[in-house]
A and B are shown apart, each in its own frame.
Chain A
Amino acid sequence: MNEAPLNPQVSKGFSWQSYTRQLSLLGTIILLTLIFWILAKVLKGNNFLSFSNVQIMASHTVITALGAIGMTLVIVSGGIDLSIGSVIALSMVVTAWGVERLGVPLEVAVLMGLLAGSACGLVSGLIIVWFRLLPFIATLGMMGIARGLAKVVAERKPINLDYKGWEDSWLKYLTVNPSNVEIEGLPYLPSWILFQPAVWVTLLFALVMAAIFSRHIFGRHVFAVGSNESAARLCGVQVSRVKVLVYTICGLFAGIAGVIFASRQSQGDPTAAVAYELHIIAAVVIGGGSLTGGEGSIFGSIAGAVIITIIRSGLRSVQVTSDVQEILIGVIIVGAAILDRWQHRKKE
């Protein structure tokens, strides 16, 4: 019985399994892009990979990706957050309401939007921990509550962000697509920025969260809770605190997504982001998140969000109707979950 030989290459926090997974995600993205590029070219004569289309796709990914960052934490902790779409709408509405109805400075309104999102997550988390409710039920309740609140705050109709100076505000600039041509009176960003600032902001958040997730004690504790709650408790992990934090962070990211949504739409729409929870959960699952907890990665989920956008916008570019898009997204969620099960079975 001797010491096991150690492979120095593998010891750098880098496992072959996650490597192949990332490769296969990248492969999927390239393959899908290629398919839609050819389809759009042949069927419609469009360029799927035109600069403007890629920009649009990137901007569409932002909301899903931000939600997916928070959702990854929740799913890895062994939970789920069905309220995320409604919470996005609520924080979007609260931000617009703050500026337009309360007349507070934009920064304060944004803060209110973020707080609204975090508060929803905090409440969900506390309910789950205090009353030992299934996350499914607790967040299903929050889904209704947040949507209803958004409608109450907005008095059932969108609050338009049209105060004087909105078009020049920093928030609006977050979702301005860079362009070669400057049009008088419209916000302009030079094309060397490539994507709208929101895309870069999202990537920055992803980087920070990925680091926290894989290297920080908190992130490791999230994995521990999702992998085996009682073992985590036995190891001194404060399970309840981790859970509450995870839902609060998910709410915060829903809040960020809502604020950026408000910027993109220039309004707070209480009926926005309906069924986004599905796309967001799908992104996490496609990206390798396991609904039984303990597995998942931020960049996997981001890749999942990109894949969903490519499919949606690809289908749109070949003029598949949105109803059929919904069907296909549903099929993809189930397919990804089946694939996940298979891989688990193979491991056993």
Chain B
Amino acid sequence: MSESLASRLQLENISKRFGATQALKGVSLKVLPGSVHAVIGENGAGKSTLMKILAGALKPDTGSIKLEGNPFQAQGPAEARQGGISMIYQELTLAPDLSVAENMFLGIEPKLLFGCVDRGQQRKKVKEALAFLGHSEISPDTPVSQLSISSQQLVEVGRALVGEAKVIIFDEPTSSLTRIDTQKLFEVIARLRDRGVSILYISHFLEEVTEISDHYSILRDGEAVAHGNLKDIQLDKIIELMVGRSVEEMFPRREREIGEVVLTVDHLVGDGYPQDVSFELRRGEILGIAGLVGSGRTEMLRTLFGLDSVWSGKVSLKGHGEIQGQSPQMAIQRGIGLLSEDRKEEGLLTNLSIADNLTLSDYKSISSWGWVDEKKQIQSTQRRFKELRVKAREPRQVVGDLSGGNQQKVAIGRLVHQDADIVLLDEPTRGVDVGSKVQIYEWMGELAARGKAIIFVSSYLPELLGVADRIAVMNRGRLSTPQAVEELTEEEILRLAVMEQEAH
């Protein structure tokens, strides 16, 4: 980067310490106008801390921030937004009952006399913004709750746009988007970039990062270990820099034997979704389920687990025959385990201890007469720590304190503790760092090799193709016939995932 190019945003020597952990150690970073700058790093590398500092949610211990050459120190998110730095958070922060226009102008409403909102002006600007983003089909008056996740995200982007943001930070924007919506978002980002907005793009999905970004900075353990142009670096090299070790093989394949059928699903219809789903699952098999978000994959797992009700169809379990009116508790007793896609809302009890989280679904095995044997509980927790390489201080630590990857390992550890024979995994690697991902793939391979059967729902096609034995595609609640992974390509899966929608 030549000195003559004035940087839009310049971070110098930013450090931040939380108690005993040094979250950031002298990070410097330069973002050019009209460019997309990727901030890459494993979970816990310090990306979120850095972005929170930029967005004014945290104060750095040392270092300075310059926006267009002027010192910038926001006292809070609102001030950062006024100063020209907007953040699009992982979890959307819209008011669901307000309209698109009201949300976009929340806090910066154009005023008439006596503080009345100038609705005409507001609508006009919102329409302009949506048109600029290439989504004029969204009406300014629609309540946000009626929009899809990806459209809601556009409203967030629109909010940054009408606030005349100079820098927009995207924090894992695609984690809940389908491939198609991701492409749409990338078009929006490209438009913003062409308008001269600087984009900071944070993501775990490296393929995406290389697709959209111009420059990159890699964080590892709170330090910026590399900067540069993305066209000058290979994907493998990025991973190596991120994890600090070479990842020989993202998807380790283990030899395993596929055995007899353990689960037969016959014309299963649930409450809305799934619609007429049939398949067989075999011992030692990993069955991948692809499909768009909202296509009914989660609902299928929930129905199989007894969280959602079965309307018609048959589910037969080896050793139990046809099962009816199953509750989650019965499912667990029958050896079925479910990993929820939503770790925070449904997967973990974040203010309880790791030990309780790991053993909750099967207290019986560590208790007598209903009394939990704490010694056994701690022992089995420590065993899981070892098996899954959980990084934690001690078993009594509160789960909410752990990093995303480690939280996910705890959620997975619960299935291990439960010793489930049929494991239903809903987006097990979402929001998880590369290192933990590989460990999760390894664990899945190991389970299958031990004769367990796995249903693996994922929106990330490379991992489905890399890990599963067979893949079926969910489309509007219907499941395609599972096909051997060798016979499938990404294009074919995508075609199956959107086929019906195009016909409609």
Known: A224-B349, A231-B340. A217 touches B363 (CB 8 A): yes
Q: How far is the CB of A290 from chain B (nearest CB, A)?
A: 8
CB neighbours (8 Å) of A235 from chain B are: 328, 332, 360-361, 414
Q: Which chain A residue shows the least CB distance to B332?
A: A236
The answer to whether B374 touches A12 (Cβ under 8 A) is yes
25 A-B pairs, CB-CB below 8 angstroms?
Answer: A3-B386, A4-B393, A4-B394, A7-B394, A11-B395, A11-B396, A12-B374, A216-B370, A216-B371, A217-B372, A220-B360, A223-B349, A227-B349, A230-B345, A230-B346, A231-B340, A231-B348, A234-B305, A234-B307, A234-B328, A234-B338, A236-B327, A236-B332, A236-B361, A238-B327
Kindly state whether residue A294 has any CB partner on chain B within 8 Å: yes
Q: How far apart are the CA atoms of A236 and B372 in the complex, in Å? A: 16
State which of B94-102, B122-130, B153-161, B350-358 sits at the interface with chain A: B350-358
The answer to whether A11 touches B394 (Cβ under 8 A) is yes
CB neighbours (8 Å) of A236 from chain B are: 327-329, 331-333, 361
- Which residues between 414 and 447 of chain B lie within 8 Å of chain A, taking CB atoms? 414, 435
Cross-chain contact of B385 among A3, A15, A233 (Cβ < 8 A)? A3
11 further interface pairs, Cβ-Cβ under 8 Å (given A7-B393, A216-B371, A224-B352): A14-B396, A217-B372, A223-B352, A224-B349, A228-B348, A228-B350, A231-B348, A234-B361, A235-B360, A236-B333, A237-B360
Q: How far apart are the CA atoms of A237 and B391 in the complex, in Å? A: 27
The answer to whether B372 touches A216 (Cβ under 8 A) is yes
Kindly state whether residue B449 has any CB partner on chain A within 8 Å: no
Kindly state whether residue A10 has any CB partner on chain B within 8 Å: yes
CB neighbours (8 Å) of A4 from chain B are: 385, 390-394
Known: A228-B349, A234-B328. A10 touches B340 (CB 8 A): no
Kindly state whether residue B451 has any CB partner on chain A within 8 Å: no
Cross-chain contact of A220 among B345, B363, B392 (Cβ < 8 A)? B363
Q: How far apart are the CA atoms of A347 and B348 in the complex, in Å? A: 17
Known: A15-B396, A223-B352, A235-B361. A228 touches B371 (CB 8 A): no
Q: How far apart are the CA atoms of A215 and B356 in the complex, in Å? A: 11
CB neighbours (8 Å) of B305 from chain A are: 234
Q: How far apart are the CA atoms of A147 and B494 in the complex, in Å? A: 64
CB neighbours (8 Å) of B360 from chain A are: 220, 224, 232, 235, 237
CB neighbours (8 Å) of A13 from chain B are: 374, 396
Q: How far is the CB of B396 from chain A (nearest CB, A)?
A: 5
Kindly state whether residue B389 has any CB partner on chain A within 8 Å: yes
Kindly state whether residue B378 has any CB partner on chain A within 8 Å: yes
- Which residues between 187 and 242 of chain A lie within 8 Å of chain B, taking CB atoms? 215-218, 220, 223-224, 227-228, 230-238
Among B327, B363, B374, chain A packs the most CB atoms within 10 A around the CB of B363
Kindly state whether residue A277 has any CB partner on chain B within 8 Å: no
- Which residues between 329 and 347 of chain A lie within 8 Å of chain B, taking CB atoms? 347
Count of inter-chain pairs, beta carbons less than 8 A = 106
Q: How far apart are the CA atoms of A13 and B367 in the complex, in Å? A: 15
CB neighbours (8 Å) of B349 from chain A are: 223-224, 227-228, 231-232, 294
CB neighbours (8 Å) of A43 from chain B are: none
Q: Which chain B residue shows the least CB distance to A294?
A: B351
Known: A13-B396, A220-B356. A233 touches B328 (CB 8 A): yes
Cross-chain contact of B370 among A217, A224, A238 (Cβ < 8 A)? A217
Kindly state whether residue B347 has any CB partner on chain A within 8 Å: yes
Q: How far apart are the CA atoms of A11 and B396 in the complex, in Å? A: 7
Q: Which chain A residue shows the least CB distance to B338?
A: A234
Kindly state whether residue B382 has any CB partner on chain A within 8 Å: yes
**Interface 0/1 of B305-337, CB less than 8 Å to A:** 101000000000000000000011101110000
**Interface 0/1 of B209-230, CB less than 8 Å to A:** 0000000000000000000000
B residues contacting A by CB (< 8 A) are: 305, 307, 327-329, 331-333, 338, 340, 345-353, 356, 360-361, 363-364, 367, 370-372, 374, 378, 382, 385-386, 389-396, 400, 414, 435
Known: A217-B367, A220-B363. A10 touches B374 (CB 8 A): no
CB neighbours (8 Å) of A1 from chain B are: 389, 391, 435
Known: A215-B374, A217-B363, A294-B352. A231 touches B347 (CB 8 A): yes
Kindly state whether residue A183 has any CB partner on chain B within 8 Å: no
Q: How far apart are the CA atoms of A227 and B400 in the complex, in Å? A: 11
Q: How far apart are the CA atoms of A2 and B382 in the complex, in Å? A: 12
Cross-chain contact of A218 among B331, B340, B370, B395 (Cβ < 8 A)? B370
CB neighbours (8 Å) of A181 from chain B are: none
- Which residues between 1 and 35 of chain A lie within 8 Å of chain B, taking CB atoms? 1-7, 10-15
Kindly state whether residue A81 has any CB partner on chain B within 8 Å: no
Cross-chain contact of A233 among B307, B386, B391, B400 (Cβ < 8 A)? B307
The answer to whether A11 touches B378 (Cβ under 8 A) is yes
Kindly state whether residue A100 has any CB partner on chain B within 8 Å: no
Kindly state whether residue A295 has any CB partner on chain B within 8 Å: yes
CB neighbours (8 Å) of B329 from chain A are: 236-238
Cross-chain contact of A234 among B347, B370, B378, B393 (Cβ < 8 A)? B347
Q: How far apart are the CA atoms of A231 and B307 in the complex, in Å? A: 11
CB neighbours (8 Å) of B331 from chain A are: 236
Q: How far is the CB of A215 from chain B (nearest CB, A)?
A: 5
In the A-B complex, the 5 residue pairs with the smallest Cβ-Cβ separation, listed nearest first, are A227-B349, A236-B329, A235-B361, A236-B332, A235-B360
Known: A216-B371, A236-B329. A227 touches B351 (CB 8 A): yes
Q: Which chain A residue shows the least CB distance to B363?
A: A217
CB neighbours (8 Å) of B378 from chain A are: 11
The answer to whether A223 touches B356 (Cβ under 8 A) is yes
Q: How far apart are the CA atoms of A95 and B394 in the complex, in Å? A: 50
Q: How far apart are the CA atoms of A238 and B361 in the complex, in Å? A: 11
Q: How far is the CB of B420 from chain A (nearest CB, A)?
A: 11
Q: Which chain A residue shows the least CB distance to B401?
A: A347
The answer to whether A228 touches B374 (Cβ under 8 A) is no
Q: How far is the CB of A257 from chain B (nearest CB, A)?
A: 26
Q: How far apart are the CA atoms of A4 and B340 in the complex, in Å? A: 26
Among A14, A224, A235, A295, chain B packs the most CB atoms within 10 A around the CB of A235
Known: A11-B394, A234-B340. A227 touches B352 (CB 8 A): yes
